[in-house]
Structure 1
Amino acid sequence: MSRPDDIEYQLDTLAIRTGHTRSFEGEHGEPIFLTSSFVYENAAEAAAKFSGQEPGNIYSRFTNPTVATFEKRLAALEGAERAVATSTGMAAIMAVAMSYLKMGDHVICSRAVFGSTVSLFEKYVAKFGVAVDFVDLTDLQAWKNAIKAETRLLFVESPSNPLAEIADIQGLAEIAHANGALLAIDNSFCTPVLQRPIELGADLVVYSATKYLDGQGRALGGAVVGNHKLLDEVFAYVRTTGPSMSPFNAWVFLKGLETLHLRIKAHSESAQKLAEFLNQHEKVEKVYYAGLSSHVGHAMAAKQQSAFGGIVSFEVKGGRESAWTVIDQTQFISITGNLGDTKSTITHPATTTHGKLPAEAKEIAGIREGLIRVSVGLEDIDDIIRDLSRGLDLI
């Protein structure tokens, strides 16, 4: 999208128009460039592009027009200079680790993160001689106490999965920068519609595009967003090692971004209603949703986010047996570990998304046997409540 420098387009316009430069065909919709490589007019042109003396596409492992359009659009939504797309959200986190860490470095990660993120840092990143400490997401003093001379990265998921804990992003940025470290935020739950971490001081934003950026459970993908200098390292890593996004998936995500604002608004409105219903239910011990004034992170979320998102977690009385009863009695809510879909999904974190964590780690992270996570979709909220009530009424 070309635009005069004095025009600042709003989010909805950026989500639909940014990044697409029409080809000689004059297409209205973004094309999919399903090609592995690109052809040159002569040997001199090939040499110039391979050497970087001329811009242009070389090989779709690291440059592809459809992927580039997605990257430009996501960066615009985030208010950032650049984005680098990856094959999955976990590939994006690994790209951050491999781009900025080396043997002897130290990482501080919040305890409240996706189970695979814990495994990535503890089992794989640690193999390269990188030390990792996990701390309470909301305790700034704990982050300060964990800082070492070798600390290079603070990694945070906010809101956290699945308990919706809220980080003080600005406070963490100040801690990181005062000690020469980078702050990376996994913003998959909020998307740039609800929260823009770079404006709060974060250096890097990580996404599982598989979630809300797509929004319909169709494709896997991820992204790292930041400034040009930092993203040079991520691009070099992806180019060399190959966890790149496919052109077709990039096109799917482009279509997802076009409706992102509308979907996130609807997800948030329905999730708020569900959280309020569950908060009054006699069979529910606790509801984890930052939109509730009783949530410990409500004030911080209201400060950093424009709404509270579509993920509601809650603990039922009776532990695993009761939780499984609620899940098994649903008739249309999908029992699956994915989230951010137009279709509501439900899962038991202790035995699925966080199932591989040791029992002690689950307890510390608050992943108890009675915990259920619901990704509130775009079905009618009264139908969603009725579907959950079937099991709640039986326990």
Structure 2
Amino acid sequence: MSSKKRLVNTLCVHAGNLEDEKYGGATSPIYTSTAYDYRGEGTNLYPRYFNTPNQVALAQKIAALENCEAGLIFGSGMAAISAIFMAFLKTGDHVILQRAIYGGTSHFVDAEFTNLGIEYSFVEQVNSESLKAHLKENTKMIYIETPSNPLLEVVDMTVVSAFAKANSLISVIDNTFASPINQNPADFGIDIIIHSATKYLGGHSDICAGTVSSSQKHMDQIWKTAKNYGGSLSDQTVWLLERSIKTLGLRVKRQTRNAKKLARFLEKHPSIKRVNYPGLKSHPDHKIAKAQMHGYGGMMSFEFKESINHSRFLEELQVIKVALSLAGVESTILAPTETSHSLLTPQQRKDQGITDQLLRFSVGIEEVSSLIEDIERAMEKSRKIAK
């Protein structure tokens, strides 16, 4: 694990704060207006332009956490992802994408790129050889997600950034699963960093948002496209997200510690076929994760043996919530085949190793003992009776 020390909690609390100059309040004031005086110096303020006081302040906080020059806040993670694609790709261009990425992103690419005349290639294993094999004269971008959803595959970001720079490509990463607390792709040369802020940044399962961090040069181009698509976030939600991020470091540290303990427990359990967690030495990408992550995160997935009825298991859980989304303070679990990757074809899921017995587990801040007890009780009640 990286030995680099960052004042993450100080950044979470203080970076990009709006000062309450009138009353000296400890929290940022909230500006909800959609109509501002346009006279005088400066840019016209308008929510769709991503430049209202609360939007700008939060973008600065996100950029600081990701060690980038600039940030932008969107209405959802997919709004951020689609804005990146549309800002840098045009008809006739080609993009290389990691196969193991969020199902919504894969679906967007399959559903929209052909209509737009954009070529794309999915690669199973992201390394120098696979990138070179798929490189074309019209390739403009490499898009990765590490750790990936839902199998927690880890990609070597140094390899990706070096290849991108050597071939004048833009490198983009979905950093949602790691969060800025556990991983900072800009330090490894990645150009553009995306988060579904609905997840760890929001952290309480009550905010839908997305973020992008990059150099100012790249952000200027992103902004030109983003303002046309209208994917901005209301200032009320911006303010709530800013408040949530103040505890990001504390929450993620606890979730990461819990997840490592739970991964070890599950790995030894006789009813579990495999556990996907980069913090385990048995994980095929453990060494890469150790080299580029500050912590291994609160996300994992595991696959039951056939002796467990996974649907019944979900019904029997009492502490862990069966729910969409992830990274809240409460532990949640879901079946990717029925949710995050349901838009993929059965063959596509099979190719990625996503089976019906696979569950994605987002570990919360509860005591580990209560989570283990809940899992053991649910497994016992969902065990299939041998005929």
Return the TM-score normalized by structure 1: 0.92
One-letter amino acid of the structure 2 residue matched with residue 199 of structure 1: D
> What is residue 204 of structure 1 aligned with on the other side?
192
1:315 counterpart SS class: strand
> What is residue 347 of structure 1 aligned with on the other side?
334
Partners of 1:144 and 1:134 in 2: CA distance: 13
Partners of 1:22 and 1:39 in 2: CA distance: 20
> What is residue 12 of structure 2 aligned with on the other side?
15
Partners of 1:168 and 1:149 in 2: CA distance: 24
1:78 is aligned to 2:57: no
Partners of 1:184 and 1:148 in 2: CA distance: 18
Partners of 1:389 and 1:326 in 2: CA distance: 10
One-letter amino acid of the structure 2 residue matched with residue 337 of structure 1: L
Taking the TM superposition and a 5 Å limit, the aligned residue runs for 1:125-140 are 125-140=113-128
Name the CA shift for 1:328/1:138 in 2 (closer, same or farther; >3 Å): farther
Name the CA shift for 1:9/1:144 in 2 (closer, same or farther; >3 Å): closer
Q: 1:193 aligns with which of 156, 170, 181?
A: 181
Contact 2:20–2:27 (8 Å) recurs in 1:
no
Contact 1:57–1:64 (8 Å) recurs in 2:
no
Partners of 2:290 and 2:198 in 1: CA distance: 26
> What is residue 388 of structure 1 aligned with on the other side?
375
Taking the TM superposition and a 5 Å limit, the aligned residue runs for 1:207-356 are 207-318=195-306, 322-356=309-343
* Percent pairwise identity: 33
Partners of 1:174 and 1:344 in 2: CA distance: 37
1:159 is aligned to 2:147: yes
Query: How much does 1:297 deviate?
Result: 0.7
Contact 2:48–2:227 (8 Å) recurs in 1:
yes
Query: How much does 1:23 deviate?
Result: 4.2
Q: Deviations over 1:69-100 (max 9, x none)?
A: 11000101111000011110011000100000
1:61 counterpart SS class: helix
Name the CA shift for 1:263/1:94 in 2 (closer, same or farther; >3 Å): same
Partners of 2:109 and 2:166 in 1: CA distance: 23
One-letter amino acid of the structure 1 residue matched with residue 9 of structure 2: D
Contact 1:97–1:125 (8 Å) recurs in 2:
no
One-letter amino acid of the structure 1 residue matched with residue 161 of structure 2: A
Contact 1:268–1:310 (8 Å) recurs in 2:
yes
Gaps spanning 5+ residues in structure 1: where? 1-7, 49-53
Return the TM-score normalized by structure 2: 0.94
1:150 is aligned to 2:132: no
Contact 2:18–2:54 (8 Å) recurs in 1:
no
Number of aligned pairs? Answer: 376
One-letter amino acid of the structure 1 residue matched with residue 32 of structure 2: L
Query: How much does 1:338 deviate?
Result: 0.7
One-letter amino acid of the structure 2 residue matched with residue 218 of structure 1: D
Contact 1:36–1:61 (8 Å) recurs in 2:
no
2:311 counterpart SS class: helix
Partners of 1:126 and 1:265 in 2: CA distance: 41
Partners of 2:126 and 2:224 in 1: CA distance: 33
One-letter amino acid of the structure 1 residue matched with residue 12 of structure 2: A
1:219 counterpart SS class: coil
> What is residue 89 of structure 1 aligned with on the other side?
77
Contact 2:193–2:214 (8 Å) recurs in 1:
yes
Query: How much does 1:14 deviate?
Result: 1.4
Contact 1:137–1:166 (8 Å) recurs in 2:
no
Q: Deviations over 1:357-393 (max 9, x none)?
A: 1111101111111101110011111111111112222
2:48 counterpart SS class: coil
> What is residue 38 of structure 1 aligned with on the other side?
36
Contact 2:142–2:171 (8 Å) recurs in 1:
yes
Query: How much does 1:24 deviate?
Result: 3.6
Q: Deviations over 1:231-265 (max 9, x none)?
A: 00111122222101211111111112111111111
Q: Deviations over 1:279-299 (max 9, x none)?
A: 011110000000100000100
Contact 2:127–2:160 (8 Å) recurs in 1:
no
Query: How much does 1:327 deviate?
Result: 1.3
Partners of 1:27 and 1:207 in 2: CA distance: 29
Partners of 1:194 and 1:121 in 2: CA distance: 28
Query: How much does 1:272 deviate?
Result: 0.5
Name the CA shift for 1:128/1:294 in 2 (closer, same or farther; >3 Å): same
One-letter amino acid of the structure 1 residue matched with residue 30 of structure 2: I
Contact 1:137–1:165 (8 Å) recurs in 2:
no
Query: How much does 1:322 deviate?
Result: 1.8
One-letter amino acid of the structure 2 residue matched with residue 351 of structure 1: E
Deviates more, 1:264-273 or 1:8-17: 8-17
Partners of 2:93 and 2:281 in 1: CA distance: 39
Q: Deviations over 1:198-249 (max 9, x none)?
A: 1101000001000000100111100111000100011112222210121111
Contact 2:20–2:28 (8 Å) recurs in 1:
no
> What is residue 5 of structure 1 aligned with on the other side?
none
> What is residue 27 of structure 1 aligned with on the other side?
25
Query: How much does 1:9 deviate?
Result: 7.9
